[in-house]
Amino acid sequence: MEKSELVRIAKKNDIESFYHLWKLCFEDSDRFCSWLFQNRFFPDYSVCLEKDGEILSAMQGVPYNIQVREKVLEGVMLCGVSTHPSHRQKGYMRKIFTFEMDLLRRKGVLLAVHTPAVLGSYFAYGHYPVADAAYIQGKRKVEKRDDFIILEKSQWPALFPLYKANIGESYSGALRRTKQEFLRKCEDYVSDGGRCIVFQDTIIQGYAFYYLMENQLICPEAVANPGFYNALLEEIFALAKGREVLVKLPPDIDTSQQFGTKKCYPKGVAGVCNIGAILKKMEIYCPYAVEFCDPIVPENNGIFSFDGTKVCEKPAIKIDAGHFLGVIMGYASLEEVKPFVTIFNQEGYDFINQALPKCKCYIIDEY
């Protein structure tokens, strides 16, 4: 590293520099960015690379609890990973990623999740897909209605039980937001012109935050109780009044084909801050050990038992920590990542494969 380069933890007074770098690298509105940095700038969890007094590369972390199978783990959501356009291809991203993961580990964070635009950009850092998202896209004229229920801010707390039951407690990888964190997310959408529509019978059965534009309606979050997603989609398409509609949903939701095409894509990735602490927290019974490799966090390298301790015994398998995190979270089976596994003990491999079956995974959030 050049003497004039400094990779460091962010400070409160870096907020203006982080703001300008974000604006330079992303296409977000002034209104959204102003709200974001007033409400979601956590310098203690964020890092930057500074050269000659100018911040040229940065990434931010927002602390959250994260659902992993039936457990709740300490985590962060990463965002704003960026390098000044005039200073790319210099290795800055790897430097700040290494520093950030070490910082998070020292702060007791176990894993980091994020939803980048280009997932493959993070594979070199051991951050691999852990969640898919479904997108419903189409244009369908629905009978004109005037009985839409648009929820105002004072009524947002009524939505939290829907989020908690149908997202936070239902999917591995989901953020286990508190009510306060959930309401902050609602304000996030509205800060950039979003509104909230609900479907209800005797109670609210579903909600959707949406952006209504001249030719398109975009819905980045739609949540409903079981059996009510089609009714919620009916409201969304009616509200669109013939515009093109794009709705993001959990990948396992069965919706009517009348609303348009449904495509699923890998959308969320995650990286390991502390593999030993994750194994201990998960309380998975397995009498075999695993050898892990990690290109970013050296403490994750070595042979671990499933109680999270480093051991000297011969491992059943060898695998990079990032791919194994996908197995722990239930996104992939061990069999599905077999090309990345070295098997030393077939019986142990089979035991681990059965001990960690796939489960429902979804990351609804981006910030």
The tokens 């997108």 sit on which residue? Answer: 135
Compute the distance between CA of residue 296 and CA of residue 293 in angstroms, rounded to an integer: 9
Q: Is 229 helix (H, G, I), strand (E, B) or coil?
A: helix
Asked if residue 230 and residue 286 are part of one domain, the reply reads no
DSSP 94-152: HHHHHHHHHHHHHTT--EEEE--SSGGGGGGGT-EEEEEEEEEEE----------EEPP
Output the pLDDT for position 148.
83
Compute the distance between CA of residue 106 and CA of residue 119 in angstroms, rounded to an integer: 26
Compute the distance between CA of residue 349 and CA of residue 318 in angstroms, rounded to an integer: 10
Please say if the pLDDT value at position 2 is more than 80. no
Last residue in a domain, options 259, 288, 316: 259
Which CATH number characterizes residue 190's domain? 3.40.630.30
Which structural domain range is residue 232 located in? Answer: 141-259
Q: Is residue 48 part of a domain?
A: yes
Token representation of residue 179: 């009510």
Asked if residue 147 and residue 251 are part of one domain, the reply reads yes
Asked if residue 279 and residue 252 are part of one domain, the reply reads no
Q: Is residue 362 part of a domain?
A: no
Compute the distance between CA of residue 248 and CA of residue 258 in angstroms, rounded to an integer: 16
The tokens 């681990």 sit on which residue? Answer: 352
Asked if residue 247 and residue 158 are part of one domain, the reply reads yes
Asked if residue 254 and residue 145 are part of one domain, the reply reads yes
Please say if the pLDDT value at position 281 is more than 80. yes
Q: How many CB atoms lie within 10 A of CB 150?
A: 11
Share of residues in the chain with pLDDT > 90 (%): 89
Burial degree of 107 (CB within 10 A; 0-12, 13-18, 19+): middle
Please say if the pLDDT value at position 3 is more than 60. no
Residue among 228, 231, 260, 229 at smallest CA distance from 243: 260
Give the confidence band of 139 by pLDDT, cuts at 50, 70, 90: confident
Q: How many CB atoms lie within 10 A of CB 331?
A: 26
pLDDT digit string (tens) for 288-303?
999 999 999 999 999 9
Q: Is residue 135 part of a domain?
A: no
Compute the distance between CA of residue 340 and CA of residue 316 in angstroms, rounded to an integer: 14
Please say if the pLDDT value at position 260 is more than 90. no
Q: 274 to each of 131, 166, 294, 304, how far by Cα in Å?
A: 20, 28, 10, 12
Asked if residue 238 and residue 167 are part of one domain, the reply reads yes
Output the pLDDT for position 27.
87
Output the pLDDT for position 145.
65
Strands (E), the chain: 5-9, 47-51, 54-68, 71-83, 111-114, 128-138, 149-150, 195-200, 204-212, 216-224, 244-249, 261-272, 290-293, 302-304, 317-320, 342-343
Q: Is residue 127 part of a domain?
A: no
Asked if residue 172 and residue 213 are part of one domain, the reply reads yes
Asked if residue 333 and residue 286 are part of one domain, the reply reads yes
Token representation of residue 151: 């929820």
Q: What is the mean pLDDT of the chain?
A: 94
Which CATH number characterizes residue 338's domain? 3.30.1050.10
Report the number of distinct structural domains present in the chain. 3
Query: Do residues 208 and 364 lie in contact, with contact meaning Cβ atoms separated by under 8 Å?
Result: no
Mean pLDDT over residues 67-79, rounded?
97
Please say if the pLDDT value at position 1 is more than 60. no
| 50-64, 136-150, 166-180, 258-272: range with lowest mean pLDDT | 136-150
pLDDT digit string (tens) for 191-225?
999 999 999 988 999 999 999 999 999 999 999 99
Query: Do residues 367 and 36 lie in contact, with contact meaning Cβ atoms separated by under 8 Å?
Result: yes
Give the confidence band of 127 by pLDDT, cuts at 50, 70, 90: very high
Asked if residue 343 and residue 233 are part of one domain, the reply reads no
